Structure 1
């Protein structure tokens, strides 16, 4: 009996390793973190602490993705992808808020993070997904109506949030007045809520695999699990939240390390946004690439376009609330070079998802734009 209990606990520890690693790290930093972060002058110690916290949070993010995938198997699409997107954006908003409130005010962090997410998602992730999927399966099909729905909402929100503030005359820089912040945040939330109603209720079929739609029409059964053993909906929902909590709490600790590292190394300010984007997008990115490799391009589209859309729809209102509460300016408008890349990315996405099939050439074009973005970050 005792051996059986020990085996069950070991099995649980292995299965829920991301949660336990995050929980132990969280407890240790709550107890001793203030002293550890008080003096970061030693680069080796500060580097090790950063790797530890970043690794624990990244592993936790993969745990969140696993439980979201299990919920997707139990609840079906698009609910699974939606749960994954909301969970990941929660991590992103927590990180942005923590970095914004840590140390000196960083008015461009939210903008840099949103731009990094869009560049990574719409160029790096989609580019690699199309290259992998096209290399294995030639042309791949997706649901055109779903892609159009994503882009139809993403374009106006990206323009209002990241381009329009550069041209407003009510402030001297690329910021918004409090009235404009309230109105733009309201517009963003209302439009995203409308999109969610379309995605989850009225037109769920727009976001399903074309093959699944054909199977549904012919009465065949769908069987496209994510390969993770499922337990029950309440179990995975609770574990998703429990795995998410340490990540959110540790975000403040990571924020201190990121702020210190950028200042001490003299690195570009945009690097903070890229680190946040990498942390929150790594699990989603792997899930999108895996789906493309299995010729499930619609799931890749749902993950990639859903992440970009949710980033703007949920991050912008959150940082605007922080701006109003703390009376700190938030610069959302991008510069001329970044604006050109953003417009190019959105235009290419419209062309890529303007048909019903994709190929490797489109993926290569998206990757070139991402490499250009990296060059401009480190050599403006």
Structure 2
């Protein structure tokens, strides 16, 4: 008989997601060659089903990661959540790279799309709705500045530098190793400081949230938090069970990603869609669950949590995805084109400058959000131009 903890975790919804993910994988395995060069209606239906199942499983992953995040507290919890999302993204990009056809720019397109979606669409919407509901919202400027400092460097290494020192938009074999090492070292040092002495720089500072705690609210203060070691010791069973459920929910995404990549390549090729659209679709699939989580946090006035989720996800995306795809490209002999077009580099530069301007303020408002949303709209126009 299951314990109360197990029953609270292995809910009908969680079990349903597992059955849906694994059942879809088994069904595709039994279908054999049915999806090889399918007719357009079957292609659209199959792709819609697979993407839908991947989204459902992604929401399941984020659900478990969010419970872990709430239990562990920031910044540790946000790191669990963002790393879960990045793992899904790397899986989907790798599936496309290893699938049929040429996909030299898929990593570039995905990272660029994620950057625009996170920094402009999601943050813009969060600032807009949060600012309209809570007026101005205060954030921890030291921690936010650290995120943006790392993002400026990692984004430059990933999307700008290859076009200047590389060959045809790709790093040469001799350049790849130093870039991988520098990227991983900077990302690792950032995590080391975030999890260590600078952990306080990534916690809420808005006095309204502090007042909520004093009145019995559910937003923990830095002083009232238990140490991570103590939390793990007291809730070991729950944490292990949730982590196991998270992994079991991620695995169907891994297994289904290959079929999704093949069908996506076939479908976009038939309609003559822009090459970058594949990267945009992957970014939307990956970040939709966390976007909803960020929006909920904004409505509660937890702007630092929004920053931790969004900026943390992007730092992890660039810091882990780029090294991963460069390694995959090196092992498989594929060229990985990372250099962005002049238009996208301009939009990325505007986005980073706008982000620095927005979060250099003591508090953020709905006006900041509106500016970010306009930049995202321009990015959408540029994709189809």
Report the TM-score when normalising by structure 2: 0.90
**Given the alignment of the two structures, is residue 127 of structure 1 paired with residue 124 of structure 2, yes or no?**
yes
Aligned pairs for 1:26-45 within 5 A: 26-32=25-31, 34-40=32-38, 42-45=39-42
What is the distance in 2 between the residues matched to 1:89 and 1:15? 21
Q: Structure 1 residue 212: deviation in Å? A: 8.1
What is the distance in 2 between the residues matched to 1:78 and 1:376? 35
Q: Is the 8 A contact 1:212 1:222 kept in 2?
A: no
Q: Which residue of 1 aligns with 2:23?
A: 24
Q: Could you tell me which runs of 5 or more consecutive residues in structure 1 were left unpaired when the two chains were aligned.
A: 2-7
Q: Which residue of 2 aligns with 1:318?
A: 324
Coordinate RMSD, CA, aligned: 2.2
What is the distance in 2 between the residues matched to 1:308 and 1:72? 17
What is the distance in 2 between the residues matched to 1:20 and 1:13? 10
Aligned match for 2:192, one of 189, 197, 203: 197
Residues 270-289 of structure 1, C-alpha deviations (whole Å, 9 max, x = no match):
00000100000000100011
**Given the alignment of the two structures, is residue 90 of structure 1 paired with residue 87 of structure 2, yes or no?**
yes
What is the distance in 2 between the residues matched to 1:26 and 1:288? 30
Q: Structure 1 residue 311: deviation in Å? A: 1.0
Q: Is the 8 A contact 1:18 1:62 kept in 2?
A: no
Q: Structure 1 residue 181: deviation in Å? A: 0.8
Q: Check 1:221–1:82 CA distance in 2 against 1; reply closer, same or farther (3 A cut).
A: farther
Q: Check 1:356–1:18 CA distance in 2 against 1; reply closer, same or farther (3 A cut).
A: farther
Q: Which residue of 2 aligns with 1:13?
A: 12
Q: Is the 8 A contact 2:70 2:77 kept in 1?
A: yes
Q: Is the 8 A contact 1:127 1:366 kept in 2?
A: yes
Q: Which residue of 1 aligns with 2:243?
A: 237
Q: Check 1:215–1:224 CA distance in 2 against 1; reply closer, same or farther (3 A cut).
A: closer
Larger displacement relative to structure 2 (108-117 or 79-88): 79-88
Q: Structure 1 residue 77: deviation in Å? A: 1.3
Q: Structure 1 residue 31: deviation in Å? A: 3.0
Report the TM-score when normalising by structure 1: 0.91
Residues 278-312 of structure 1, C-alpha deviations (whole Å, 9 max, x = no match):
00000010001110011011111111111111111
Give the secondary structure class of the aligned counterpart of 1:232.
helix
Q: Which residue of 2 aligns with 1:176?
A: 171
Q: Structure 1 residue 248: deviation in Å? A: 1.2
Q: Which residue of 1 aligns with 2:267?
A: 261
Give the secondary structure class of the aligned counterpart of 1:158.
helix
Give the secondary structure class of the aligned counterpart of 2:268.
helix
- How many aligned positions are there? 363
What is the distance in 1 between the residues matched to 2:142 and 2:22? 42
Residues 80-111 of structure 1, C-alpha deviations (whole Å, 9 max, x = no match):
11111111111101111111111112111100
What is the distance in 1 between the residues matched to 2:354 and 2:251? 37
Q: Could you tell me which runs of 5 or more consecutive residues in structure 2 were left unpaired when the two chains were aligned.
A: 2-6, 221-234
